[in-house]
Amino acid sequence: MRFDSLTQEPKVLLGGCSDDRLPFLAFVEQELMLPEGFYFPLRLAGGLSPLAHKNEVPDDFKSTLKAVKFPMDHRPSITTGIILEHAFCGYRQECLPSDLVHNGIEDLDIIADVLFGNFPQFTQIQLWFADLINGGKTWDFSKIKVVESQQVCRI
């Protein structure tokens, strides 16, 4: 780690799953090409997926929101969110009711809405999804969309 990365204030909150099968660092370095110190990594079981399921997993929703709140309260330089959800997530398979188990793409828009609603300093949130290809040997990262804060309708 270079010393200047320790003194730089992060501009991006990078939320993703803690699943060790997911090559998180490769995603940051090869796909996003973000320099060290430019982002605040937040890796949680299930990524930020619990934010899309407030009624189904209320305790997980609260703890995930609290985990996001810490860097947002202490790093006012963060104005962009990058959310990475992935296929075959163990959290979604084990912790969500069976009728809600899906690949994670469905959660992305809801996660963005919750983040914009709770953290007005976000001006943009990028929504990404990782899927396994080549017979489950390679991860493919796809940018699903970019949402700007003025695009969100807050009630």
Calculate mean pLDDT across residues 118-142. 94
Q: CA nearest 111: which of 41, 42, 153, 53?
A: 53
| CA–CA dist 55, 36 (Å, integer) | 36
Range 3-151 has CATH code 3.40.1050.10: yes
Global confidence as pTM: 0.89
Residue at 25: amino acid letter: L
pLDDT digits (tens, 9 = 90+) for 74-108: 999 999 999 999 998 888 888 887 776 677 898 99
Query: What are the extents of the domains in the chain?
Result: 3-151
How far is the CA of 23 from the CAs of 42, 127, 138, in angstroms? 14, 17, 10
> First-to-last CA distance in the chain?
43
Supply the pLDDT for residue 114. Answer: 97
CA atoms within 13 A on the CB side of 52: 23
Token look-up 């296929």 returns: 87
Is 47 exposed, middle or buried (CB count within 10 Å of its CB: 0-12, 13-18, 19+)?
A: buried
Strands (E), 11-102: 12-17, 39-44, 80-86
